[in-house]
Amino acid sequence: MAPEAYIAVLVATPLGGLGLFLLLDEFRLRRIRAAGRSDSLFRCKDCGLVYTDDPGMERSRCPQCGKTNDVITF
């Protein structure tokens, strides 16, 4: 193997690994940001189901039993 090719492999391998790590980390961060949206949280008073609805909703109908519920505040 020529010395130039050997040096190129020694430099390209860690840089490629670092690039792959950064790409995978970016995909992970996007998935976390998408999961952490600020949906409103509700708990049904009849069946006890905990569910989410669009942000800003003050009342929402339970998808399981149909009862209208208020937002849970912490």
Q: Are residues 14 and 1 in the same domain?
A: yes
Q: Are residues 46 and 19 in the same domain?
A: no
Q: Are residues 32 and 52 in the same domain?
A: no
- pLDDT(6) > 90: yes
Range of the domain at 68: 38-74
Tell me how far apart the alpha carbons of residues 16 and 12 are, in angstroms, rounded to a whole number: 6
Least confident of 17-26, 53-62, 63-72: 53-62
Number of domains in the chain: 2
pLDDT more than 90, % of the chain: 54
Q: Are residues 3 and 25 in the same domain?
A: yes
CA-based end-to-end distance of the chain: 65
pLDDT reported for residue 50? 92
pLDDT tens digits along 33-52:
766 667 788 999 999 999 98
Q: Are residues 42 and 14 in the same domain?
A: no
Q: Are residues 42 and 28 in the same domain?
A: no
